[in-house]
Amino acid sequence: MLRLALAVLLLASCSHPRPVVYPDERYKAGGGEAAKADADLCLKEAKAYLKANPAKRVAGRTARGGFFGAFMGMVFGAFTGNYKRAVAEGAAVGAAAGLAHGAWEAGSPDEIQRAYTQRCMAEKGWSVIGWK
C-alpha cells in the first residue's frame, strides 16, 4: 500500500502544467485531440526555443535565497549584536528555502515558456484560458 502511494506521488510530481483551452465551437466539434496535439507541439517548441535547464533555475533560486537570507541575517544581527552568527544562519536558511523552492518549480514552465506556448496556441487558433 505504501509503495502504491509513493508511486502515485512520484507520478503526480512529474506531471507538468498544461494549457487549458477555451471550449469554443472548434473545440466542441471534436477538436480536443487536435488541441492536445497542438499544445504538445507548442510546449516542445517553447522548450527548444528557451533551452530550458531546470538545474540552472534551481541554482539561481538557491543563490538568491542565500543572498536574501544573509541580508535578513544582517538585519536581525543589528538587533541581537551578533552579526556573524545571524548572517550565517540567515544565509543557510535562505539557501535552503531557495533550493526547496527552485526544486519545486523546476518542473513547471516559467512565465516566458507559458507566454510562448500561449502565443503559439493562439496562432493555431486556440484560446488558452489557464494552466492545469
pLDDT in tens, 64-101: 777 767 777 777 676 777 767 777 777 777 777 766 66
pLDDT of residue 2: 40
Q: How far apart are CA 64 and CA 70, in angstroms?
A: 10
The answer to whether residue 10 sits within a structural domain is no
Domain that holds residue 62: 19-131
Residue 62 predicted with pLDDT over 90: no
Instruction: Report how many domains make up the chain.
Output: 1
Share above pLDDT 90 across residues of the chain, in percent, rounded to a whole number: 27
Residue 126, all three cell numbers = 486556440
Q: What average pLDDT score do residues 109-129 get? A: 89
The answer to whether residue 110 sits within a structural domain is yes
The answer to whether residue 24 sits within a structural domain is yes
pTM given for the model? 0.51
pLDDT of residue 10: 44
Pure H helices in 1-132: 2-14, 25-26, 32-50, 54-80, 83-105, 111-123
The answer to whether residue 93 sits within a structural domain is yes
The answer to whether residue 67 sits within a structural domain is yes
Residue 37 predicted with pLDDT over 50: yes
